[in-house]
Amino acid sequence: MKQTTFELHHQAQWQTLQKWLEALDRHETIDASQVTDFPRLYRQVCTHLALARDRHYTPYLVERLNLLVLRGHQHFYQHHGNWGRALVNFIVLAFPTWVRKEYLTVLFSSLLFIGPLLAIFIGIQLNPDLIYSVMDTEEVKELERMYHPLAEHLGRNREADSDFLMFGFYIRNNIGIAFQTFAGGILFGLGTLFFLLFNGLVIGAVAGHLTHLSYTQPFYTFVIGHGAFELTAIVLAGAAGLKLGMALLAPGRFTRLQSLQHAALDSIHLVYGVIGMLLLAAFIEAFWSSNTALEPWLKYTVGGLLWFLVINYFWRVGRHDAD
């Protein structure tokens, strides 16, 4: 579509959003129908901005749309009186919509993470000594003690205070990994690339070694519950980091700083969701995954259901409203 046709087709929407934003800036009251339509119009303009960038329309148009999105973001997500509504809108619409919009980047991040994971998993089944290319001898011994079917710590429930301590540990650990993966994008994507490959190799090596030893039940009943949220969050953090890297490597008609600012605006939607998913993963890991009183079939069933829900969430939720 030519830029002139694009502008004529959507000009009224941009002017309407700008008028509403100016009213909100002046703290004026807008009627109920406008409040209801504001999220939809804001998301449509976000889509228009993405299209304008992808089609390399003039910098003037991209900057105009970017300014509208920035101002809309402030009111849509940071308005103090409607934080609850903004949170619900983000969960049921904005987050899955943004993930679908960035599906190519998410797919690339998935390949970088899952590819090494599967490769070393299969490799260890063929050559068990490959585990020592990723972990040293003491780390392997500790891993085997932790997931041994007869290990004492797997045969008893932890005290509640221990669960809370582990909840905090998992939050710090998981968010730390995700932040490294995202922030590594500032190094022209090399940092994100490294952390995706490294984490994929480590997780694949652990799973491959324990599978080779037939320690499958202790390991898989532990990871299947929180894995749906944790592994997906790592992939999305990688996608957000890759957007930063691509903005620096291929800024197009913008300066690298301008391109990075635009990419950061898009990526922050993914990062918000990643943090929420990791908090949920940490909660499940501390209070459900580690609970040895639960039957394996129950953990497998719940874990499979959680994977189903996560996949359907990103595939279906908010699709009708975004259209």
Contact 204, 117 (CB under 8 A): yes
pLDDT digits (tens, 9 = 90+) for 50-76: 888 888 888 888 888 888 888 787 766
- The DSSP code sequence of 149-191 is TT-GGGSSPPPHHHHHHHHHHHHHHHHHHHHHHHHGGGTTTHH
Q: Which two tokens stand for residue 303?
A: 């874990």
Burial of 180 (0-12, 13-18, 19+ CB in 10 A): middle
Range of lowest pLDDT (111-120, 219-228, 265-274): 265-274
Q: Three-state SS for 58?
A: coil
Query: What's residue 31's pLDDT?
Result: 57
Contact 223, 143 (CB under 8 A): no
pLDDT digits (tens, 9 = 90+) for 25-41: 666 655 545 555 677 78
Taking CA atoms, 317 is separated from 106, 159, 272, 287, 306, in Å, by 17, 37, 17, 27, 15
The model's confidence at residue 153, banded by pLDDT at 50, 70 and 90, is low
Burial of 276 (0-12, 13-18, 19+ CB in 10 A): middle
Query: What's residue 19's pLDDT?
Result: 84
pTM confidence score: 0.74
pLDDT digits (tens, 9 = 90+) for 225-238: 999 999 999 999 99
Query: Does residue 272 register a pLDDT over 80?
Result: yes
Averaged pLDDT for residues 249-277: 83
The full set of domain ranges for the chain reads 3-78, 101-322
**How far, in Å, CA of 97 to CA of 93, rounded?**
6
